[in-house]
Structures are given as C-alpha cells and as structure tokens.
Amino acid sequence: MDFSYLVTRTLFFTALILSASYPVYSNTDITDPTINKKTPWQKLKNNIALTWNAPDNELYIPLNAWHNRWAYDKEKISNYNERAWGIGYGKYRYDQNDNWHALYAMIFMDSHTKPQPIVGYGYQKMWIPKKRNQWRFGIGFTASITARHEYHYLPLPLALPLFSIEYNRIVLQSTYLPSPYNEGNVLFTWIRWQF
C-alpha cells in the first residue's frame, strides 16, 4: 500500500473524528463597525489585519490536483503527479455576515513532483442553510503568491476562485486554475481542519 495514501487517509479520518468530538463551533466574530465607510483597498487591508489577529487556526492537507482530461493530450497527463502531498497552516475568522476570511501558507508537490509554496488571503461568501456549526457552503477567491521550479522559484502573483463544502470544523475546499490547452486546467482540492 502506498505510504502517502495511508497517511492522508489517516489524517482525514482523524480530523473527521476530532471534528465530530468537538461540535461547538466557537469562532470569535471579529468585526469593524466602520468597515462600510471605507474604500475597497482600506476594506482589504482592514480584513487582512482583523484576520491576522483572529484567534482561530486551520490545518491544510492537500488531497488532489486533478488535470482536466479535456484540456490535455493523453501523453502529458500520464507524466503528471496528481497527488499533491503537502501541508499548510492558516488563521481564519468569520465576519458579522458569517463570511470566511483567511491568511494561509501551504506547500505541496506540484504536477512535476516538485515543491510548490503558496501564501495568500482567502475570502468566501458563505451560505448556511441551518445552524452555523452544521453544513456551510462557500464561494469566493484567493489572492496569493506562489513560486514554481520552472520559473526558478520567483514569486508569482495568483488570483483564483475558491469553493467549499463545510461541516462543523472540517472543510473540503477547491480551486480551479484555468489555462490554455496542455497547461494549467487543474482542479486543486484540500482539506481544512479548523482548531
């Protein structure tokens, strides 16, 4: 059995069990009553500062980097790594409207099995059908900086969409990297465990 497969599944089920063991969803709402009177740039800076000072943390566990089969030649796909093993850490908060904000850092194995770091700010507008500590669904964006081996690890800015399905403290989150044929077009998925 593949060791990395076993480790990922063990971490996933451990997080799931711990999530069920601590059903209280005790995130502190950190808000600024004057935020609606600010420019978009001031709002962004304010949200980053509030998130940085938030008491809540997240563990990121990358799961998969699926290369869109309709956007690649078959021989290219067979050479790519789709198991994006890695780890990450983030600070997060939910604002007064229950929208998610996070500052994060993650490192994972890219399509060529080379380490790829990423740091950034994430925001998601949340839809909560019932109680806050149950099912939640989010859609938003991340503004980040990454580095790749083929660019000699020079910092590269990156803005991508985010979507998530959440239950209590466990989150399945994804992004899609749109690109021309035979490049990018990757659905990247990870777990966030809130603690």
Which residues form the catalytic set?
67, 110-111
CA dist list (Å): 30 to 15, 49, 90, 128:
25, 10, 16, 19
Q: What is the DSSP string of 106-131?
A: EEEE-TTS-EEEEEEEEEEEEE-SS-
Residue 178 near residue 187 (C-beta atoms within 8 A): no
Q: DSSP 3-state assignment of 27?
A: coil
